[in-house]
Chain A
Amino acid sequence: AQSVTQPDIHITVSEGASLELRCNYSYGATPYLFWYVQSPGQGLQLLLKYFSGDTLVQGIKGFEAEFKRSQSSFNLRKPSVHWSDAAEYFCAVSGYNFNKFYFGSGTKLNVKP
């Protein structure tokens, strides 16, 4: 069955610290992987995506993610977190041909000053 697991519901980091948000997926075909961010009252904004090729992908706002097929993971990282990064982060998986997205439960990021 297709699914996405984000094991961390809440994470708190200090401003300037590094960040890693975990995402594991189960998908029966070649996965297309995404990270979205949702600030309060806002929609889902795409941070980055992976379709093929280089397994380390760069996104907006200084985020990057690494696809590891052997671990079925697509973890999101940022070397130095800013207070404005406080939001909820969603990992999603899809397939070819405009298939629906499967979302994880989300990870709420809190940033301490």
Chain B
Amino acid sequence: EPEVTQTPSHQVTQMGQEVILHCVPISNHLYFYWYRQILGQKVEFLVSFYNNEISEKSEIFDDQFSVERPDGSNFTLKIRSTKLEDSAMYFCASTSSGIYEQYFGPGTRLTVT
């Protein structure tokens, strides 16, 4: 069964450093999402992406964040200058026309020290 994959599974970085989280959505999907889950808190929406542009973003998704689909298969989330409060599990998800459930990857745990 097709699945969403994410790399790395765990990323440790120092405050102020840039990180890029990688996702490979299911191949025929057209809608892509990033969510995050701070330890002990809800899974919360960051951004959705369709047709090579952001379709919606949350107030968390400020200028420090960006997303890109560089090559038609990968979907990346970049944090330009990480803060301690960016430490969280980041989930990528995808879906397509005719289906409404989102398929989630296993997540990348980001630890900012």
A residues neighboring B (CB under 8 Å): 32, 34, 36, 41-46, 49, 51, 90, 92, 94, 96, 98-106
Contact = CB atoms under 8 A, between A and B. Distances in A.
Contact of A100 (B4, B33, B101): B33
A105 B101 CA distance: 19
Contact of A43 (B33, B50, B91): B91
Contacts of B42: 103-106
Give the bracket for the number of chain B residues in contact with chain A.
20 to 34
A98 B44 contact: no
A49 B99 CA distance: 11
Given A44-B91, A100-B48, A103-B42, A94 B104 contact: no
B50 A98 contact: yes
B65 interface: no
Interface string B101-113: 1111111000000
22 contacts: A32-B100, A36-B104, A43-B4, A43-B104, A43-B106, A44-B91, A51-B100, A92-B43, A98-B31, A98-B50, A98-B55, A100-B56, A100-B58, A101-B93, A101-B102, A103-B35, A103-B42, A103-B43, A103-B44, A104-B42, A106-B42, A106-B43
